[in-house]
Structure 1
Amino acid sequence: MTATNEQNEASSHVPPLIPTQNGTLELHDITIVDQTKLRKAISAAALGNAMEWFDFGVYGFVAYALGQVFFPSASPSVQMIAALGTFSVPFLVRPLGGVFFGILGDRFGRQKVLSTTIIIMALSTFCIGLIPSYNSIGIWAPLLLLLCKLAQGFSVGGEYTGAAIFVAEYSPDRQRGFLGSFLDFGSICGFVLGAGIVVLLENIMGSAHFLSWGWRIPFFLAAPLGLLGLYLRHAAEETPAFQKHLDMMEKEEQEEVSSRPRVSFMEIMRRFWRTLLVSVGLVLTTNITYYMLLTYMPSYLSHNLHYGEDRGVLIIIAIMIGMMFMQPIIGFVSDKIGRKPFVIGGSVALLVLAIPCFQLITSGKVGLIFLGLFILALILNCFTGVMASTLPALFPTRIRYSALASAFNIAIIVAGLTPTIAATLVDATNNLFIPAYNLMVVGGIGIVTGIYLKETANRPLRGVSPSASNKKEARELLAETYEHIEQSVDDIDAAIANLQEQIQELEKRKQQYIDLHPKME
């Protein structure tokens, strides 16, 4: 092992440096989380995320209707691909929104940015319901639809990452996995609500009336949901971690701190490229599986397997309800055993079980279809249950929002194309197992990501003092932190001793070479 590797190995055991007032970590340096503020933060973040996925759920379940309304002259297959393509195109602007809102979030705070993103998201979703059909205004109809989806994509670029950071920075260290899991619990709720409303309206109105005007109603519901989310986010206070970050800037005025960028994007890429790659890998693994199962599968069941639309939708809704119950359980268990086992275990399961699951899905038997989808849903829970608590812990506070938003939304460009790519390939090849092959590739990415992922469970966020839910837990965390420090000092001492031995050995070898040369002394 080289000296550099020795140093890297030693440094990998060292916990991130924790800012303190007097240089010594004491009990008062540990943040005691206010439970009332914590509940407000969880509610505000989860509801905004639910609204984001409410739109995705509605859009995925009415894609067939949107195809007929906005692309009436195309064949059914092209209509489906065009509607899903309109769903995917906004993902191209999400990195722009991620960088924009990420910089603002690191300058002015998380709460202000999240209040802004939910307004844009609610308005753009509401406006989709106002767009006339192609038969009324021609090409302007799909163009206006695309414009609304682009606005959604820009706002969503800062939504999920900001909400995940908001929850992570509020959560006690020992509960971050459990509390963070409610963020994707909210997204699944949004999906279930969107899908349930679509099914209810279709059954009440009938297919003809739903296709004529009823599809607009779910999009109109974004307005009251957005107002409720805005109220909750406006009532929530800034996260303790970000506030402490500002308070630590003793030599600078807070206004000056908030008016300038922290670190350029290029410097983030240079200094944190390994962490960025791990983040991208985790986001790809989670979201490609997510979009394949919850956005593409309703269309796959009805269009490719000729399964009754109502029955297929009900199966997906039942699957999502099951995921809702599993979500907090996996988050809770990850606080006990860590995040890595779920990332690696879920990825291995995806690689091994993707084809068997699609054999069940394509069997034509209701029970087997449900079983295949349910297995995929449990695998997806392994990722969604830990992603919101894992990603924010990978970056320090001062660049957390901008770095994470950049990595997340770069990966989302690829993940967001999942429904369109899957629909196009299945239609072109007539191979119903194309989605399974895609998921196997994703499983391979997840395995590599899990191997390089550093465990973050039960540890403070990078550069932040430990946080606890009460004083008793704070004392326990302080004792554990001292143990980590002592172990880190021992590891560094051992590394230094090894380096000194290597230096002595190199000095001996150097002298041997000198002795062989007549003109060197």
Structure 2
Amino acid sequence: MTHHHAPTPPGSPAATGASDASAPAADTAPDTGELRRLEVDDVLVVKTSRVKTAITGTVVGNFMEWFDFGIYGYLAVTMTAVFTAGMDEGLGLLVVLLGFAISFLVRPLGGLVLGPLGDRIGRQKVLFFTMAMMALATALIGVLPTAAQIGAWAILPLYVLKMLQGFSTGGEYAGATTYVSEFSPDRSRGFWSSWLDAGSYIGFAAGASVVAITTGIVEAISGPDAMVEYGWRIPFLIAIPLGIVAIWFRSRIPETPAYEVAHEAEQREHLEGPLARHGIVGIVRHHWREILIAMAIVAATNTAGYALTSYMPTYLETTVGTSGLTAALATVPVLIVMAACLPVLGRLSDRVGRKPVYLAAAAASVLLILPAFAIMQLGQLWAVMIALVMVAVPVALWVGISAASLPAMFPTASRFGAMAIAYNLSVSLFGGTTPLFSQALIDLTGNEFMPAFYISFFGVLGGIAVLGMRETAKRPLVGSVPTVETRDEAVELVRGQDDNPLIDTTSMPLVDASAPEPEPAGTRR
């Protein structure tokens, strides 16, 4: 990918490049009064092969994160026997599930630290760190001492490792979505970014499948107590080779071109205002409205998403009355099919826009969730499968475009930090608590449809937020120059920029040709 800052004669149109990209109201260059214009060499050209490499290296992290969710969720009962032996069984399960909750409580802290750090030192470095920490923590769970070996103290190192996972996850999704959105061409950002969440749900399905396969094999070899004795360690230890592969991929991904250009502009011009890089306070001050919109959308996405993944097995087993094996395995094929549909929805959003797809998600949350829970009550496998598909529809519509939509709300210089704040606060408050609140509402009211009302409420809230959202499909990211796949496309874009309503050069880090270049024009690799 080549990006030049070519010297331009004074007075030419290209000499009117922005000298202060932080002035959103200014349509003209500071000295000449002429409109700021794009040159072909201003446009980022990122070949499809490099996009694929970048996306693959990012997806593996989300796969690992959700692989661990799948393992921990489906081994919760077994882990209770392993780490809380001697406690009351009900209390022991709560103690183990508290480890899941602790990881969510730490996520905002991870986001507050790692998000602004990613804006300061780069996306790739932070993503490498989060991947290494996550893989290490997951693998170490597999070698922890049990309650039979060290008594009640066994739960403490488990909590510490879950906190490490939560801290790293606080930077993982925010960083990964920022990375893929910045690396993707403007016209196909929805398609490329959707692979990130496809990897997440495949990772969850893989974790659940590994637990099921491990259980079947070790119990056949060593009897019904084998999972408690040693089998529970195997799924966590499988994370070691997976983690090595994932870390290798992360070490090979380049920094995003959009970050490099914005970072150079920040160093060159010491920007101020909304388009500049800010810490936590500055991000909230300049972007509070976008943060609230993003939080509402994230809440709608994750109440439905975590209901489908984390809560549904519990609901099917305790409320509907299906067997534990049926409850565990029923969601796996649904998640795989749903993951396969996400790139299709991402491509659709590139054509029709993000807002129409999000509004369809809000409508589906209201129209499908309650009937799905009613069908689920029949208890038959066919009914359960139909109901799960109905729940998966709004989840897919929300999730399929989120990696492209949410980061695009924020300018490049502060994107990682803003995403980390909005996403992790919302997930911690509303996503990870979905299983807890859903079950508590059933216990409180005696109404088995309360989880459906809970999901639908946030669906309506998310729909209202979408109405206030700026459409971002096909547009360059705020604070970035346009990104395309070929030089011919760049030439065409520059030629038609005066008649293109999607091009706003006032928010782009264009070079002021009258100012001295900080370094010779060259090729960024």
Q: Alpha-carbon deviation of 1:377?
A: 0.8
How does 1:322-471 map onto structure 2 within 5 Å? 322-414=337-429, 415-427=431-443, 429-471=445-487
Query: Could you tell me how far apart the structure 2 residues matched to 1:35 and 1:354 are?
Result: 38
Moved more, 44-53 or 69-78: 69-78
Q: Which of 281, 288, 291 is the aligned partner of 2:296? A: 281
> What do you get for the CA RMSD once the two structures are aligned?
2.6
Q: Alpha-carbon deviation of 1:485?
A: 5.2
Which structure shows the bigger proportion of residues in helix conformation?
1
Using a 3 Å threshold, how does the CA distance of structure 1 residues 485 and 349 change in structure 2: closer, same or farther? closer
Where does structure 1 differ by over 6 angstroms across 4 or more consecutive aligned residues?
A: 14-20, 486-489
**What SS is found at the alignment partner of 2:230?**
helix
Query: Could you tell me how far apart the structure 2 residues matched to 1:146 and 1:66 are?
Result: 13
Query: Could you tell me how far apart the structure 2 residues matched to 1:167 and 1:196 are?
Result: 28
CA contact (8 A) 2:476 2:503 kept: no
**What SS is found at the alignment partner of 1:153?**
helix
Moved more, 306-315 or 230-239: 306-315
How does 1:63-142 map onto structure 2 within 5 Å? 63-73=76-86, 76-142=89-155
How many residue pairs were aligned? 470
Residue 499 of structure 2 is matched in structure 1 by 483
Query: Could you tell me how far apart the structure 2 residues matched to 1:215 and 1:80 are?
Result: 15
Moved more, 276-285 or 204-213: 204-213
Moved more, 469-478 or 172-181: 469-478
Residue 5 of structure 1 is matched in structure 2 by none
Q: Given the two structures, how large is their TM-score scaled by the length of structure 2?
A: 0.84
CA contact (8 A) 1:98 1:402 kept: yes
Q: Which of 230, 234, 257 is the aligned partner of 2:247? A: 230
Q: Which of 49, 56, 77 is the aligned partner of 1:43? A: 56
Q: Alpha-carbon deviation of 1:19?
A: 11
CA contact (8 A) 1:15 1:485 kept: no
Residue 67 of structure 2 is matched in structure 1 by 54
**What SS is found at the alignment partner of 2:125?**
helix
Residue 513 of structure 2 is matched in structure 1 by none
Using a 3 Å threshold, how does the CA distance of structure 1 residues 481 and 58 change in structure 2: closer, same or farther? farther
Q: Alpha-carbon deviation of 1:299?
A: 2.0
* CA distances 1:243-267 after superposition (whole Å, capped 9, x unpaired): 11133346479xxx9xxx9323222
Q: Does 1:239 align with 2:256?
A: yes
* CA distances 1:445-470 after superposition (whole Å, capped 9, x unpaired): 11112111111111100011111111
Using a 3 Å threshold, how does the CA distance of structure 1 residues 113 and 431 change in structure 2: closer, same or farther? same
* CA distances 1:181-222 after superposition (whole Å, capped 9, x unpaired): 000011011111101111111111224212322111111122
CA contact (8 A) 2:342 2:396 kept: yes
Residue 265 of structure 2 is matched in structure 1 by 248
Q: Given the two structures, how large is their TM-score scaled by the length of structure 1?
A: 0.85
**What SS is found at the alignment partner of 1:242?**
helix
Letter in 1 for 2:227: F
* CA distances 1:219-246 after superposition (whole Å, capped 9, x unpaired): 1122222211111111111100011113
**What SS is found at the alignment partner of 1:465?**
coil
Query: Could you tell me how far apart the structure 1 residues matched to 2:26 and 2:199 are?
Result: 31
Query: Could you tell me how far apart the structure 1 residues matched to 2:479 and 2:367 are?
Result: 38
Q: Alpha-carbon deviation of 1:313?
A: 2.0
Ranges in structure 1 where 5+ consecutive residues have no aligned partner:
1-13, 490-521
Using a 3 Å threshold, how does the CA distance of structure 1 residues 18 and 160 change in structure 2: closer, same or farther? farther
Using a 3 Å threshold, how does the CA distance of structure 1 residues 411 and 16 change in structure 2: closer, same or farther? farther
Moved more, 338-347 or 262-271: 262-271
Letter in 2 for 1:283: V
Residue 516 of structure 2 is matched in structure 1 by none
